[in-house]
Amino acid sequence: MDLFSEIGAITGQVVTDIEPLGGGCVSSVYRVSLRDGSIVVAKADEDGLANLPVEAGMLGYLAANTALPVPGVLFSSDRLLLMSFIPGDSRITDPVEHHAAELLAALHDITAPAYGFKWDTLIGGLAQPNPSTASWIEFFAEHRLYYMATEATRAGRLPSRVASRVEGLCRHLTDFLFEPERPSLVHGDVWTTNILAAGGRITGFIDPAIYFAHNEVELAFTTLFGTFGRAFFKHYNELRPIAAGFFEERRDLYNLYPLLVHVRLFGGSYVSSVTTALERFGF
């Protein structure tokens, strides 16, 4: 793919520089400078595996239906996604956590008649099935834990005996989880490298993996890699009280899903993290 000529033809501008950016599990990400002084971000998919139109659809949905700051989609095809450039970095300070709590609490206030989404979405380039489901526990069991464990096993990265243990847990989720009052829209992949901030404020959330879920699944993920801490949870709890037992039990159970995603993508030590979590719940 000749990015200089292709992006130039799309934008009607001469491309003066292209610099690689971090991120992108299955596609390459670039900062693109144009002759008029503007900057855009490009994701290029050489192999056709990244499902860039799905990512564009998620960003478009968030832009049209929420106040969450996300990149604007300028162009989308199977091989190329052009987005507006958002200034900022991934340094998370207490003021940034405070602002993130406000943005995510507002996002989680957006609801729908059922769990899932209008179409299947993505997380880390992997498919997320989103059939409309009335029960959150059924949805999380079948279309998150069991589904991703099966995919990781098919990829040769999760031993079948561990997948069977995940299936056993799925049959007993009602022992640990409760049905929320209503579904909440979640970003779905909130961790440090998917957050941009400047001047103590969030400037953008990138790489969404949206669907309607229990908001606790999002809160849990922010703790898995230490993205947010006390300042975030204190303010979030003021806006949307967090039910008792989340930190003590449900957080670890909800984090089984991103751990399984990482097993499917990378294998390795994430398998032992999954088995440790399963043991925590007696499986």
pLDDT single digits (tens) 72-102: 999 999 999 999 999 999 999 999 999 999 9
Same domain, 208 and 227: yes
How would you write 197-220 as a 3-class SS string? EECCEEEEECCCCCEEECHHHHHH
Query: What's the CA gap between 36 and 136, in Å, rounded?
Result: 49
* Residue 127 CB burial class (10 angstroms; 0-12, 13-18, ≥19): middle
Q: How far is CA 135 from CA 141, 163, 176, in A?
A: 10, 23, 15
**Same domain assignment for residues 188 and 236:** yes
In a domain, 176, yes or no: yes
The number of domains in the chain is 2
Q: Clarify whether residues 65 and 99 are in a common domain.
A: no
- Left, alpha or beta for 116 (phi > 0: left; psi -120 to 50: alpha)? left
Is residue 254 in some structural domain? yes
Same domain membership, residue 166 and residue 121:
yes
Which of residues 84, 106, 139 is at a domain's end?
84
CATH code of the domain in which 77 resides? 3.30.200.20
- Quick one: pLDDT at residue 281? 96
Residues 70 and 103 in one domain: no
Residues 112 and 236 in one domain: yes
* Cross-strand partners of 161: none
What band does 24 get if pLDDT is binned at 50, 70 and 90? Answer: low
The enclosing H or E element of 131 equals none
Same domain, 102 and 219: yes
Domain-located, residue 12: yes
Which of 65, 84, 103 is the endpoint of a domain?
Answer: 84
Helix, strand, coil shares of the chain as percentages rounded to 5? Answer: 45, 20, 35
Shared domain check, 262 and 162: yes
Q: Which of 46-55, 197-206, 243-252 has the lowest mean pLDDT?
A: 46-55
**Residues 34, 110 within the same domain:** no
204 within some domain: yes
> Quick one: 37 and 128 in the same domain?
no
10 within a domain of the structure (yes/no): yes
Containing structural domain, residue 13: 3-84
172 domain residue, yes or no: yes
Contact (CB, 8 A) for 100 and 233: no
Among 19-23, 142-146, 248-252, 261-265, which is the least confidently predicted range? 19-23
The CATH number of the domain holding residue 114 is: 3.90.1200.10
pLDDT digits (tens, 9 = 90+) for 231-249: 999 999 999 999 999 999 9
Residue 89 lies in a domain: no
Q: Which of 84, 110, 140 is the last residue of a domain?
A: 84
Task: Please write the tens of the pLDDT for every residue from 267-279.
Answer: 989 999 999 999 9
Co-location of 192 and 147 in the same domain: yes
Joined tokens for residue 29: 């990400």
pTM of the model: 0.95
Same domain, 119 and 11: no
One-letter amino acid at 34 equals L
Examine residue 189 and state whether it is found in any structural domain, yes or no. Answer: yes
Residues 6-20 have a mean pLDDT of 93
